[in-house]
Chains A and B, each alone.
Chain A
Amino acid sequence: MNLPYTVIFEKRTADYPKWLPAVTSLLSVIVAFIISGIVLKIIGGDPLRVLKFFFTATFGSWAVFSDTMVKATPLIMVGLACAVAFKMKLWNIGAEGQFYMGAFFSSLVVLVPMVNLETTPKFIVIALMMIMGMIGGAIWGFIPGYLKAKYQVNEIIITLMLNYIALYWNNFWIFDKWSDAGFQMTPQFEKIAWLPRLSDLAKEYKAFSGITLHLGVVFGIIAAIIIWWILERSHWGYEIKLIGDNPQAARYAGLNITKNLILVMMLSGALAGLAGMSEISGVVHRLQEKISPGYGFTGIIVAWLAKLNPFAVIIVSILFGALIVAGREIQPSGLSNLLQGIILFMVISSDVLLRYKIRLVRLEQEA
């Protein structure tokens, strides 16, 4: 090798600047787009046209942007659910099941019904559904949390298995008990149980007609703010991080690990449950079989890409919301899955930049 320069990977001795993770994440998304473009070119497509289409289909107008946000909404809450648990190194991969239980429990408000739907004010119905949704998810988080705390049962297996139980539990009710004319869904909920949408305001503001964005997105943003405050400012967040980093040290410092473990699993489950509530009350308006195209699992990726930062969860969720919308619009639809995969790959490998400095060095200088 006679190159006058050599590339050196230097281990970072000092801490990296705070903005660096954001920059590397952004870079990796851009690189992922470029690589997808190359793949597209190889198979004979026109990358620039597809890229343009991707943006018009997801961010091109208020209407499509609203679709993107509607898809992003459950991802924000599920992503937060995973982020909270992961901070304590609790591998909750049961957000999908907690999402379904949240949907189921909040549906009870309408299907039982728990209140008189004719006379009760809308905000009470909605608030009750939110509470029930969070309780449903929290129960589904409590079970693995309790088993881990008391009997050291691996939470990964339990949360994974509980996903299927939740799914079939839901199926039992929608097939057997509340089926709408034999279909795998309950009858549509009364309007009072619908989350307000922007299109509800179309009469006053013409621009909002057909905009399906619902109040759930606000839940997501408020949840992100609360979770950020808990993690970064509260006693509890400090305890969560301490237990996550070194449980031995946490015990030594006098923390109650058992209690925290159960509480964090319940908080995580409650957030996923709230996502389930928001989805049935804001989008599908009934309990049915396929309310989630795997939000609970995408949430794991979202949390990870966001490096467990609650605000980054919002941004990553919007990107993934866009990918879901684009997947519907672009043929072959596998393209957006390809892009998702490459993004994940790039973000994970971009961690190298956080740990190493890359320098170009003139060879003479070293001699």
Chain B
Amino acid sequence: MTSSPPPNAVEMKDIVIRFPGVLANDHVNLTLKHGEIHALLGENGAGKSTLMNALAGLYKPVSGVMKVHGEEVNFSSPKDAIAKGIGMVHQHFMLVPTQTVTENILLGLDEPKFFMDLAKYDQKIRDLQDQFGLRVDPTALIWQLSVGEQQRVEILKTLYRGADILIMDEPTAVLAPQEIDELMNTMRSMTEQGKSIIFISHKLNEVTAVADRLTVLRKGVATAEGIDVEGLTGEKLAELMVGRKVIFSVEKKAQEPGAVVLDVREVSAENNKGVRALNKLSLDVREGEILGIAGVAGNGQSELAEVITGMRGCEGSILINGEDVSNQEPSAAIARGVAHVPEDRTGVGSAPNMTITENTIMKNYREKPIGNKWSINFTEARSHARGLKDAYDILAPNVRTMARKLSGGNLQKVILAREITTNPKLMVAMQPTRGLDVGAIESIQRLLLAQREEGTAILLISEELDELLTLSDRIAVLHEGEVMGILDAENAEVKEIGLMMTGMKRSDS
């Protein structure tokens, strides 16, 4: 017994899960070895979450065998799965904002029973933190924590419940780059101590950085089952995911930028907490030019997008084709041809319970032929939406589909389609490809480049350096609300940008 290796943490064999009209998982196999990080890849809707929900006891497979630590299991509720040591860290956190970290971790447990000696449990949680390197103050209230810290609380929650098999559903989607590194270190230290992890992700570079083996799902079928990550190239991975070779560098045509469209002069602004987020920032964007904004998340990018589009007040001036639009309502910016692809596509960019049609006319419902003097011609609106649905390849049953039923990529296409049809002079795009699958990223990037060729000035804010380097003409690096320097994308060096992101000013700017 001592010499034989521990049994596999999880074995899923020939799993079939069916939804009405959809075969979500078609005879999928997945083996999670003891102490490994196993990546689960796939485009949106490939069946990754379904498979993991079956392992977490939320769905019951129609057929197939599941074994945990070599023992066959048949979960009828998440409780059964937790009892077997399976913990899921969801993409959307399930925490009570007004309670402390400890209270959130204890929530729903049998112990403590009546009297809460919180100090004792705080200490227990601190011990657990030391063991895995998950730093977060147990007495802090959840709303005071950053997104990364909240995620650590979610991980602690599953560890506290005794999980030794962790399912992490796109844990990096919400994190800033340095937080991603910390998370990866945590994951490694957890596996060193005998935990096994299934890591769901879209991002190929993260998978190659942290995972031991991987399984790829495409349309419910596994195209790769437990292959070793070492020696895999990004191209090969992408091909497994989308079934065709993905062109990583979309073609950017050389063109001369025209007149200045956006001129930001010495703009300062505060963030939601009243802390100064932009500090006398100046930059400009020209016709037919993409200015990329690089920087670690939370260095003023959101606020920059918001002051330009009129969603946030500021000091200083923001000129659009020579007219000052600072400190006015968003309608002032819209009237001057500013399109905005917001960071938060469900919270700001769309109305979830309205149809695709209603979401596409958000900015032109008053204009002919959709708008009459007082009314909206819904026949025109629908045909407008149908046109966009075809032109932008938006996958949905019809234009009466509610926005909330669209996948992230399709919703983003609805938003981009709407913004592009306003024929913008300036487009502010914040994180336009975040959380999307490889295929969707490519088509969004192509749309942005097409806008550039049309002569639109584009301000592209992104945390993906590769994306900025591919699409931008120039790159401005933000640090603590200031521009550290502006580089030509053509001969910019990643290392230099990295240094500027940490606060090193460029000497010649």
Interface 1/0 per residue, A230-241 and B, CB below 8 Å: 000111101001
Q: Which residues of A contact B362 (CB under 8 A)?
A: 242, 249, 253
Does B132 sit at the interface, judged by CB under 8 A? no
Does B376 sit at the interface, judged by CB under 8 A? yes
Q: Which residues of A contact B333 (CB under 8 A)?
A: 254
Q: Is the CB of A249 within 8 A of B348?
A: yes
CA distance A234 to B374 in the complex (A): 6
Stretch at the interface among A8-16, A162-170, A198-206: A8-16
Q: Which residues 208-241 of A sit at the B interface, judged by CB distance below 8 A?
A: 229, 233-236, 238, 241
- Beyond A229-B375, A235-B365, 4 additional contacts (C-beta under 8 Å) are A233-B375, A234-B374, A241-B351, A248-B347
- Of A10, A245, A357, the contact of B351 (CB 8 Å cutoff): A245
Q: Is the CB of B365 within 8 A of A254?
A: no
Q: Is the CB of B349 within 8 A of A235?
A: no
Q: Is the CB of B375 within 8 A of A234?
A: yes
Q: Is the CB of A238 within 8 A of B376?
A: yes
Does B311 sit at the interface, judged by CB under 8 A? yes
- Of A10, A233, A242, A252, the contact of B340 (CB 8 Å cutoff): A252
Q: Is the CB of B376 within 8 A of A253?
A: no
CB-CB under 8 A for A366 and B62, given A234-B376, A253-B362? yes
Least CB separation from B400: chain A residue: A15
Q: Which residues of A contact B22 (CB under 8 A)?
A: 13
30 contacts between A and B (CB under 8 A): A10-B20, A13-B19, A13-B20, A13-B21, A15-B402, A229-B375, A234-B376, A235-B371, A235-B374, A235-B375, A236-B374, A238-B361, A238-B376, A241-B351, A242-B351, A242-B354, A245-B353, A245-B354, A246-B347, A246-B351, A248-B348, A249-B362, A250-B351, A252-B349, A253-B362, A254-B329, A254-B331, A254-B333, A255-B331, A366-B62
CB-CB under 8 A for A252 and B311, given A235-B375, A241-B354, A242-B354? yes
Least CB separation from B22: chain A residue: A13
How many whole Å from A33's CB to the nearest CB in chain B? 32
Does B342 sit at the interface, judged by CB under 8 A? yes
Chain A residues with CB under 8 Å of chain B are 10, 13-15, 229, 233-236, 238, 241-242, 245-246, 248-256, 357, 366
CB-CB under 8 A for A233 and B311, given A13-B19, A249-B351, A254-B363? no
CA distance A238 to B375 in the complex (A): 9
Q: Which residues of A contact B309 (CB under 8 A)?
A: 252
Closest 6 CB pairs of A and B: A254-B331, A245-B351, A253-B362, A254-B334, A246-B351, A254-B330
Does B57 sit at the interface, judged by CB under 8 A? no
CB-CB under 8 A for A252 and B375, given A10-B20, A238-B365, A245-B353? no
CA distance A366 to B16 in the complex (A): 12
Interface size class of B (residues with CB under 8 A): 35 or more
CA distance A151 to B263 in the complex (A): 34
CA distance A13 to B21 in the complex (A): 9
Interface 1/0 per residue, B342-367 and A, CB below 8 Å: 10100111111110001001110110
Least CB separation from B354: chain A residue: A245
How many whole Å from A243's CB to the nearest CB in chain B? 9
Interface 1/0 per residue, B325-338 and A, CB below 8 Å: 00001110111000
Q: Is the CB of A251 within 8 A of B330?
A: yes
CA distance A252 to B20 in the complex (A): 37
CA distance A255 to B348 in the complex (A): 13
Q: Is the CB of B376 within 8 A of A233?
A: yes
Does B397 sit at the interface, judged by CB under 8 A? yes
CA distance A73 to B407 in the complex (A): 45
Interface 1/0 per residue, B363-390 and A, CB below 8 Å: 1011000010011101000000000000
CA distance A299 to B488 in the complex (A): 64
Q: Is the CB of A245 within 8 A of B352?
A: yes
Q: Which residues of A contact B400 (CB under 8 A)?
A: 15
CA distance A254 to B361 in the complex (A): 12
CB-CB under 8 A for A14 and B329, given A235-B374, A246-B350, A252-B311? no
Q: Which residues of A contact B330 (CB under 8 A)?
A: 251-254
Interface 1/0 per residue, B236-267 and A, CB below 8 Å: 00000000000000000000000000000000
How many whole Å from A333's CB to the nearest CB in chain B? 40
Does B99 sit at the interface, judged by CB under 8 A? no
Does B401 sit at the interface, judged by CB under 8 A? yes
How many whole Å from B17's CB to the nearest CB in chain A? 12
Q: Is the CB of A233 within 8 A of B363?
A: no
How many whole Å from B472's CB to the nearest CB in chain A? 24
Q: Which residues 149-166 of B sit at the A interface, judged by CB distance below 8 A?
A: none
Q: Which residues of B contact A357 (CB under 8 A)?
A: 20
Interface 1/0 per residue, B66-110 and A, CB below 8 Å: 000000000000000000000000000000000000000000000
Q: Which residues of B contact A14 (CB under 8 A)?
A: 397
Q: Is the CB of A251 within 8 A of B311?
A: yes
Q: Which residues of A contact B349 (CB under 8 A)?
A: 249, 252
Q: Which residues of B contact A366 (CB under 8 A)?
A: 62
- Of A10, A15, A229, A252, the contact of B348 (CB 8 Å cutoff): A252
Interface 1/0 per residue, B391-416 and A, CB below 8 Å: 00000010011100000000000000
Chain B CB count within 10 A is highest, among A10, A253, A255, for A253
How many whole Å from B333's CB to the nearest CB in chain A? 8
CA distance A233 to B371 in the complex (A): 10
Interface 1/0 per residue, B302-332 and A, CB below 8 Å: 0000000101000000000000000001110
Least CB separation from A252: chain B residue: B348
Least CB separation from A18: chain B residue: B400
